[in-house]
Structure 1
């Protein structure tokens, strides 16, 4: 239903790159519930070139799950070297599973001090010249690579703060995206906004209205159900949605989101069969999903990072408690907060 470059996807809802979360097991669970595309967590381009341990975060060993890698690059030369390493390692057989990558994405959205504070991520939006050069490198790689890269794109915010947002620093970036990219993910917040602040839909709509017909616009921010996705798509005209915190809370949210079609239309031929409040899975579904994750961890062996295993154990235990008690309990860090199921406040573990 959604096309990004040469890549045809089965739906309109995709899983965001999520730190400490987006490993092959979790991505597989989301895909089996309807996520049309998923991403690794953000990886620094220079770390891939240096072949640091973070290369194991490119765990695209599941051929059946469309997967993208999200990169953080400071300069065109840094990005070019990284892409060369990815192709070389994939084709040489050193990292054969990297052949399964379908999408390459650039991060201009992470607001964390270790990113934005280094003038990377959203801090780069005010420098369209550098962004244009990065986009050119990405487009050139897609057209010349021997890897089967279906689409290249980027994820942006609306600026570093309200001043940058009001000056619309994102529009020059859009112009360059129109020339070089297949899609642009737009998070409807600037970097100084909190996750509790409502996302701003008008800028997403403005970007979609100015986007080339060849550039898909993906909306991001507080998408947690078919209704919220349909509203964002209908209001802004965006072509698809990206889901983050709601997927951490409950990967089965993609079952609901799979009911949304192009234009934000709720598809009548896909009735909702899960519990309407929260789309909670059954205990059997949770247990089966965790077993799937464990199997993928076993296949990837010692390269599966402990942070992913810890997240998997804590999050599935949280889901079991939610199903059994009707309360959402955050497990870990000696923090326990309870919320009624109908509220389903989204939290990042």
Structure 2
């Protein structure tokens, strides 16, 4: 299988899991890794919250052995605060530190972090340099095409970040103003790949094996980062790996029983890492994603939105299987 080398970290495969706030917790990352995700990244962590010893933040940085290589993603806008946050993140032994320069959420961009950093390319470089000097692991950057149509500056920012010491860059092929709605412009990924020598990962509407292969072919990027396409569908990594390494082999989609079994496994892990009540509350959205396209999904989603115990989820999955496997 093809490998990607990010500093001292070698990835066995070309498809990695994107960091996703509110969805990419430890349990989900471990499930995706079990299906072949070559690397996983934590939900984004506030460097400032680390500075103030926020009690909820450490849980976001827990990296189990079953989801390695694993990176911790930090967000913030001050080089010294980001560097100090990276030092504290090292307590969790990440394989890399990823810097968020792509999040479009107003609560992140408002204070100048996330994709707002792309409005100040020099500051992007200062943050990379500060974090690189603070930690012994590779530092990577996730960015967007730019802030808006008038400032599509991913190439400039990527070159500055590489010069400051970034070991890899990921490019989401939309501007911040586009959020997630219009079709991504993969041309920006190609332009970044041609401009830098470090590995470049492409991100934006990779939902399966063929879209992954198409992005790799059209942009020349080293690997693909899968985000929303993996929600309720961790098999996407197995499918991409088979397609890329086995002469375009298309694997059959998982059956309903396998889907429900993996959903239960993910929920069990969530309960292990969090208390059952909170885990099941957070699992409700995942249930909706796993149910996509199944018979009776609307009613099952309604039931899923009320879940509070594993026993209720077990009963739900049995009913889903019965409804979808009957003649």
**TM-score of the aligned structures, taking structure 1 as reference length:** 0.78
Equivalent positions of 1:1-349 (< 5 A) are: 1-52=3-54, 53-87=56-90, 90=91, 98-99=92-93, 101-143=94-136, 149=137, 151-165=138-152, 169-179=153-163, 180-212=165-197, 215-260=198-243, 266-268=244-246, 271-274=249-252, 279=253, 281-302=254-275, 306=278, 309-316=280-287, 318-320=289-291, 322-325=293-296, 331=302
Query: Are 1:321 and 1:328, in contact at CA under 8 Å, matched by a contact in 2?
Result: no
Q: Distance in 2 between matches of 1:161 and 1:282?
A: 42
Partner deviation per Cα, 1:273-318 (whole Å, 9 max, x = no partner):
32xxxx3x2233233323432443344244x893x54342442355
Alpha carbons of 1:125 and 1:202: their partners in 2 closer, same or farther (altered >3 Å)? same
Residue 34 of structure 1 and its aligned partner are, at CA, apart by: 1.4
Residue 162 of structure 1 and its aligned partner are, at CA, apart by: 0.5
Aligned to 2:309: none
Query: Are 1:18 and 1:42, in contact at CA under 8 Å, matched by a contact in 2?
Result: yes
Residue 329 of structure 1 and its aligned partner are, at CA, apart by: 7.6
Q: Distance in 1 between matches of 2:114 and 2:179?
A: 16
Q: Distance in 2 between matches of 1:41 and 1:69?
A: 8
Of structures 1 and 2, the one with the larger relative CO (CA 8 A, separation 6+) is: 1
Aligned to 2:319: none
Residue 56 of structure 1 and its aligned partner are, at CA, apart by: 1.2
Q: Distance in 2 between matches of 1:321 and 1:223?
A: 17
Query: Are 1:45 and 1:82, in contact at CA under 8 Å, matched by a contact in 2?
Result: yes
Residue 15 of structure 1 and its aligned partner are, at CA, apart by: 0.9
Q: Which runs of 5+ in 1 are unaligned?
A: 91-97, 144-148, 261-265, 335-349
Q: CA RMSD in A?
A: 2.5
Partner deviation per Cα, 1:152-206 (whole Å, 9 max, x = no partner):
20110111110011xxx22331222222111100000001114231100111111
Q: Distance in 1 between matches of 2:247 and 2:126?
A: 44
Alpha carbons of 1:229 and 1:82: their partners in 2 closer, same or farther (altered >3 Å)? same
Query: Are 1:318 and 1:330, in contact at CA under 8 Å, matched by a contact in 2?
Result: no
Query: Are 1:47 and 1:55, in contact at CA under 8 Å, matched by a contact in 2?
Result: no
Alpha carbons of 1:66 and 1:158: their partners in 2 closer, same or farther (altered >3 Å)? same
**TM-score of the aligned structures, taking structure 2 as reference length:** 0.83
SS in structure 2 of the partner of residue 189 of structure 1: strand
Q: Distance in 2 between matches of 1:10 and 1:19?
A: 25
Q: Which runs of 5+ in 2 are unaligned?
A: 307-327
**Greater mean deviation of Cα atoms: 19-28 or 319-328:** 319-328
Q: Distance in 1 between matches of 2:206 and 2:39?
A: 15
